[in-house]
Structure 1
Amino acid sequence: MDHSVTSTPPVRTGPRDPGDAWVEGGQGRFWGRFGAAGVLAYDPAKGVLLQHRATWSHNGGTWGLPGGALHEGEGAVAGALREAWEEAAVPASNVDVLFTSVLDLGYWSYTTVAVLAREPFDPVISDPESIELLWVPLADVERKELHPGFAAAWPELRKRLEARKPA
């Protein structure tokens, strides 16, 4: 079954991690009992890697970053790289961490881990959470229908990436 065109999540076949749960608080409901993290992969020749989120996911159908819930005791960088590998085959051994950006709501946090690709790579949809994976030039990111959280963070993330671009 093609999960990219349905609003029903795929059937889980393996054990669920304790971090895979919703948390609720004064600013809303968020995925990841221990927080969440995602990778903003940057290749100066291609742009940034965006994930078109499956329609069944939270804010499905929007564009965001490969990422997800952190495991208990897992650091944000390690969790973001794990999730990006699981969802998009982003090779942790071929990227350098440029910076992190944290949204901390007190009861939940999201860490964006910006990485620079040392060598070009082709992302691979390796789980049902993506409809599409696409390298998007920095100037074109705003033209996509972005996940609300990523849309709010993008202007500052873009500035930080552009400050690191080679002249």
Structure 2
Amino acid sequence: MDHSVTATQADAGSSSQPGQNPYLQHPPARTGPRDPGDDWVEGDRGRFWGRFGAAGVLAYDPDRGVLLQHRAEWSHNGGTWGLPGGALHQGEDAVTGALREAHEEAAVPGDSVSVLFTSVLDFGYWSYTTVVLLVTAPFEPVISDPESIELLWVPLTDVDARELHPGFAAAWPGLRTRLLSLAEASR
């Protein structure tokens, strides 16, 4: 069974040519005001998206693996595989922000997951929180904004075979070890 959703499937009614993703070349036009958190921050460790930090969801389904997002070409580190997530809003905690972003980008239903643990990368002036979720009721992700080329359930053993977002690639070995430990403990 294919557990993949592509932007062209999600945008079947769009005016683009069949098989073409209209979001590959340019970011979408913004509608409405930007959140104050939607901005870059810079410091001695680099430039990062999210004035108040950022967070993403690593959804884990023991039967299907983890949900990965193939990032739109126009995005930072576009074309790589990572997690649904993004900038936190002002005053928003990381778990709430990660769940909001995962729902916005992949239609991850909050009532079908539970938090297993969080992992934080903190540079002082910017932080990223990975919120690891256990899927408690199976769901199919849906591309619901232009930030994704594809959403895919990937077995834990196959994640390394993809071109990963550099931040996710650095965090993946530790996250995988924790997930495998939890899986072993639940048997």
Residue 16 of structure 1 corresponds to 34
Q: Is the contact between residue 98 and residue 116 of structure 1 (CA under 8 Å) also seen in structure 2?
A: yes
Equivalents in 2 of 1:95, 1:20: separation in Å? 26
Find out whether 1:135 has 2:182 as its counterpart: no
Return the offset for 1:15. 1.4
Q: Could you tell me which amino acid in structure 1 is paired with residue 133 of structure 2?
A: V
Return the offset for 1:142. 0.2
Query: Equivalent pairs: percent with the same residue?
Result: 75
SS at match of 1:119: coil
Equivalents in 1 of 2:22, 2:77: separation in Å? 15
Find out whether 1:47 has 2:65 as its counterpart: yes
SS at match of 1:16: coil
Residue 103 of structure 2 corresponds to 85
Find out whether 1:120 has 2:138 as its counterpart: yes
How many equivalent residue pairs?
166
1:3–1:19 CA distance, 2 compared to 1 (3 A): farther
Equivalents in 1 of 2:150, 2:90: separation in Å? 29
Q: TM-score, normalised by structure 2?
A: 0.87
Return the offset for 1:75. 0.2
Unaligned residue ranges in structure 2 (runs of 5+): 1-15
Return the offset for 1:14. 1.8
- The structure 2 residue matched to 1:26, chosen from 18, 40, 44, is 44
Q: Which runs of 4+ in 1 moved over 3 A?
A: 1-4
Residue 77 of structure 2 corresponds to 59
Q: CA RMSD in A?
A: 0.8
Return the offset for 1:5. 2.1
Residue 157 of structure 1 corresponds to 175
Residue 5 of structure 2 corresponds to none
Residue 69 of structure 1 corresponds to 87
Residue 36 of structure 1 corresponds to 54
1:47–1:27 CA distance, 2 compared to 1 (3 A): same
